[in-house]
Amino acid sequence: MREELQDNIKRFVNFMNFARSFFKRNNPFKALFVSILSALKDMLTIRQKLKMAKYRVNYHKHQLHKMESLIAESNEHTFLKGKNLNETR
């Protein structure tokens, strides 16, 4: 009975040492703090990110419109003024 109790105490102490070393390596409170800080940073900078995304979309729309106008200028069927379908587009 006494040996079983000592074995159980040794196992419990061994488990506590493993748990302590795990928490030293992977601190859950530190990870929680870092995730909360990153979420706050994302919330505070969301307006700036939205502005940049809108700018990129508008820039690409402008580039697409410019490309389409260049294609239309160099098209040999522009004199038809839309009477026939342009099949190269």
Q: What is the overall mean pLDDT for the chain?
A: 85
Render pLDDT for 55-75 as a digit per residue (tens, 0 to 9). 999 999 999 999 888 877 766
Contacts of 41 (CB under 8 A, 6+ apart): none
Render pLDDT for 8-38 as a digit per residue (tens, 0 to 9). 999 999 999 999 999 888 888 899 999 999 9
Pair 86, 75: CB distance under 8 Å:
yes
Pair 48, 39: CB distance under 8 Å:
no
pTM for the complete prediction? 0.47
